[in-house]
């Protein structure tokens, strides 16, 4: 039993490492979008896109059997960080 637990814990650690790398890449892409929008004179945030992404994310999580409340908290944390970075970068370049 102990070796099963250790094996599963190692798998969780590996998955966590992958999640971190995926989040890092997501934020890199988001920052690049912010730069492109700033250069084009577009607003930093597209409210329709935010709502669309929220809905898509939460629905995919629910479809995967994950808790809806946890899914909303996760997408909220990601979205709040993206918005904060975009607004901060917008004000720094002004």
One pLDDT digit (tens) per residue for the chain, 94 residues = 799 999 999 999 999 999 999 999 999 999 999 999 999 999 999 999 999 999 999 999 999 999 999 999 999 999 999 999 999 987 776 5
74 near 66, Cβ under 8 Å? no
Looking at the structure of the chain, the number of domains it has is 1
Looking at residue 15, which CATH number applies to its domain?
1.20.59.10
Cβ neighbours of residue 35 closer than 8 Å, sequence gap 6 or more? 89
73 lies in which domain range?
A: 2-93
Q: The tokens 């989040």 sit on which residue?
A: 23
What pTM, to 2 d.p., does this model score? 0.85
CA dist., res. 25 & res. 14, Å (int): 17
The secondary structure element, H or E, covering residue 79 is: helix 68-93
């Amino acid at each position: 039993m102990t070796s099963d637990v250790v094996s599963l814990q190692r798998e969780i650690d590996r998955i966590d490492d992958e999640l971190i790398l995926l989040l890092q890449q997501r934020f890199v892409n988001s920052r690049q979008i912010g730069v492109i929008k700033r250069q084009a004179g577009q607003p930093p945030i597209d409210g329709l896109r935010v709502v669309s992404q929220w809905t898509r994310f939460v629905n995919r999580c629910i479809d995967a059997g994950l808790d809806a409340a946890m899914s909303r908290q996760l997408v909220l944390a990601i979205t709040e960080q993206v918005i904060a970075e975009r607004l901060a970068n917008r004000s720094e370049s002004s």
